[in-house]
Amino acid sequence: MMGYQPLVFPNLIGGTKDTFPTNTTLPPIIPRGAISTSTTQLPPTSTSQPSANDRHDTIEPPQSSRETGSKLPGTAVPYQSEQAARELQKIDQPWPNWSHCNPLAAFEDRCHPKPATCRHVQNATNNHGIGNALEITYVKVASESLRQKPDCAPIIHDKPVRPIHPGEFSFQLLDYVKEPSWVVQPSKSFRDFQAKCLAFLLTQPKQVVTDKVQAIQQQYSAQQHNDKQHYPLVAMHLRTGWSDEMQRNVPGWDGLGSCEDYQNQFPVDMAHHAVSDLPLKQVILDFATAADRVFGAGGNHKQWRLYVASDAPGIRNYVRHLLHDRVVGPIVWQEGRIGHNYQGGMATSLEEKVATSVSAFTDLVIMSEADMLVCISSRFPSAANLRSGGCPQRFAEVGAFPRHELAIAGDLLHKAWTKYTSKSKNTSPGAITGSTPWCPALDEEAKAKLFDAIPGGRDNPCTTAVDPIRACFCLLKLSHA
């Protein structure tokens, strides 16, 4: 069986370190995300070329809610079904002539890669996760590099934003991806999309990422292998802000303990509505309905596979709860540490920081190779869409910033925990004294802020519990963790 095959660049053979062999060709074509046997007929290169309609739909710059919405930067905007409908209508037209797009064939067809004859090393300073970095920094640095030296491979070295102490984590792009040894010359019709060619070129994963990608693809490709047919892949990215809380306020959330006293108190839909004013159930169902329209599914006719990426494990489980009977095969996600990969962004061990970076690249690769990518507001899925290169990808982003209200609640919890621990030596998870769990103490003003940050405000059942402050914090934790 063959799993994920990244673009294989030629190795340096002899000569100086700035010279690359010129008698090289692109590697054999491997179908995107396919698991095949030696007798399987690989699709010809021409299958990577979408119809004119699909090309028009999918490689134009995405008209995302970030670009078209009227919200102010940094302002939390409740999810609006009308706005989401407008975004999804841009991509939910039927795709009757869908076929597998081979990313390597599309890259060759659209980007016209040729072996580089030299290396051009450029420093890049970045203090964001890989999503922001790829869109805002790396692609621009590489573009300028090719403008200056069009025959030289753009080699990006990350320059830390501050001095690095011995043994401290410092993110380096080339720790996770292969050093490019090609240059791109986009075809005239694709020239405006040079950024897509560069994003694909710069992010060909090393083995540590490839191994994870391959293991995941084997999970969601098992059903199509059994059925001897291929199904389109839909990727869903749902960022709630939980990973932000896990890097800045772990003690407070850990201080609540397991919240087992509330695990059976709230209905599953209520528990997973605890994501700002975002009606998460409706969002997920809207995304699934759009996928049904695109790929001709509905009722008992299942026609697409699903990969879920989220910074909140509880949200991924909720997607499975809602959609397990609407997709082909299992709903798949990657296990492992979730968080931000930038320097200083994670108060964890060096090993955990490396694992987080590997997980980020794994999500990036799989989401970029999905046939349809839907998400709530975040830079990361936008970067994945950029990395899709020359392959058609239906992409929609609906405006919602649930992480803002979660951050407000997290700040209140942090202050309550700091005050509690300053007066007590008990800082163990759950802060158990005898059999009594820790109940955060908030004054009336802080309590009002917490209830304002809870979906439904004072109408939420957690506000009328015996210990409403603890109940509402636990509702947030149970819905995310």
What is the predicted pLDDT for the residue at 151?
Answer: 95
Q: Are residues 301 and 396 in the same domain?
A: yes
Cα 239 from Cα 214, distance rounded (Å)? 24
Cα 250 from Cα 103, distance rounded (Å)? 40
The string of pLDDT tens digits covering residues 179-193 is: 999 999 876 665 567
- The answer to whether 322 and 306 have CB atoms below 8 angstroms apart is no
Q: Is residue 304 part of a domain?
A: yes
Number of folded domains in the chain? 2
Band of residue 63 on the pLDDT scale cut at 50, 70, 90: very low
What is the predicted pLDDT for the residue at 50?
Answer: 36
Q: Are residues 387 and 238 in the same domain?
A: yes
pLDDT at 72 over 60: no
Band of residue 252 on the pLDDT scale cut at 50, 70, 90: very high
Q: Which of 120-124, 352-356, 366-370 has the lowest mean pLDDT?
A: 352-356
What is the predicted pLDDT for the residue at 64?
Answer: 33
Q: Which of 11-15, 49-53, 203-207, 283-287 has the lowest mean pLDDT?
A: 11-15
Q: What is the mean pLDDT of the chain?
A: 76
Beta bridge partners of 396: 374
Q: Is residue 442 part of a domain?
A: yes
Residue type, 208: V
Domain C-terminal end among 402, 435, 453: 402
Q: Are residues 370 and 456 in the same domain?
A: no
Domain C-terminal end among 402, 422, 443: 402
Look up tokens 């069986």; give the residue. 1
What is the predicted pLDDT for the residue at 56?
Answer: 31
Domain that holds residue 426: 403-480
Q: Are residues 308 and 381 in the same domain?
A: yes
pLDDT at 215 over 80: yes
- The answer to whether 19 and 181 have CB atoms below 8 angstroms apart is no
- Order of strands, sheet of 233-238, starting from the edge strand that comes earlier in the sequence: 305-310, 233-238, 372-376, 394-398
Q: Are residues 227 and 332 in the same domain?
A: yes
The string of pLDDT tens digits covering residues 27-44 is: 332 333 332 222 222 223
Q: Which of 61-65, 272-276, 459-463 has the lowest mean pLDDT?
A: 61-65
Q: Are residues 409 and 343 in the same domain?
A: no
Q: Is residue 475 part of a domain?
A: yes
Supply the DSSP symbol for 134.
I
Cα 12 from Cα 10, distance rounded (Å)? 7
Residue type, 478: L
Among 284, 256, 259, 254, which Cα is nearest to 269's?
Answer: 284
What is the predicted pLDDT for the residue at 426?
Answer: 56
Mean pLDDT of 149-177: 83
The string of pLDDT tens digits covering residues 83-126 is: 777 788 888 889 988 988 888 889 998 898 999 999 999 998 87
Residue scoring higher pLDDT (277 or 48): 277
Q: Is residue 33 part of a domain?
A: no
Contacts of 466 (CB under 8 A, 6+ apart): none
What is the predicted pLDDT for the residue at 75?
Answer: 29
What is the predicted pLDDT for the residue at 422?
Answer: 85
What is the predicted pLDDT for the residue at 35?
Answer: 26
Q: Is residue 468 part of a domain?
A: yes
Q: Residue 236 is part of a domain; what is its CATH number?
A: 3.40.50.11350
Cα 172 from Cα 454, distance rounded (Å)? 38
Look up tokens 């489980």; give the residue. 317
What is the predicted pLDDT for the residue at 294?
Answer: 94
- The answer to whether 54 and 97 have CB atoms below 8 angstroms apart is yes
Mean pLDDT of 48-69: 32
Q: Are residues 303 and 436 in the same domain?
A: no
Q: Are residues 236 and 93 in the same domain?
A: yes
Contacts of 253 (CB under 8 A, 6+ apart): 245, 246, 410, 413, 477, 481
In the chain, the percentage of residues whose pLDDT exceeds 70 is 71
Mean pLDDT of 253-265: 88
Residue scoring higher pLDDT (359 or 88): 359
Terminal C-alpha separation, the chain: 36
Q: Is residue 51 part of a domain?
A: no
What is the per-residue burial (b if ≥16 Cβ within 10 Å, else e) of 244-257?
Answer: bbbbebeebbbbbb
Q: Are residues 333 and 287 in the same domain?
A: yes
Phi first, then psi, for residue 114 (nearest 5°) are: -140, 150
Q: Decide: helix, strand or coil at residue 234.
A: strand
Q: Is residue 35 part of a domain?
A: no
Residue scoring higher pLDDT (162 or 55): 162
Contacts of 24 (CB under 8 A, 6+ apart): 10, 115
Band of residue 361 on the pLDDT scale cut at 50, 70, 90: very high
Q: Are residues 240 and 348 in the same domain?
A: yes
To which H or E segment does residue 183 belong?
strand 182-183
Mean pLDDT of 15-19: 26
Most trustworthy range by pLDDT among 16-25, 168-177, 217-226, 425-434 = 168-177
Q: Is residue 419 part of a domain?
A: yes
Mean pLDDT of 350-355: 81
Domain C-terminal end among 361, 386, 402: 402
Q: Are residues 337 and 465 in the same domain?
A: no
DSSP per residue over 297-360, as a string?
Answer: -BTTB---EEEEEES-HHHHHHHHHHHTTTSSS--B---S--S--STTS--S-HHHHHHHHHHH
Q: Are residues 385 and 476 in the same domain?
A: no
Mean pLDDT of 335-343: 66
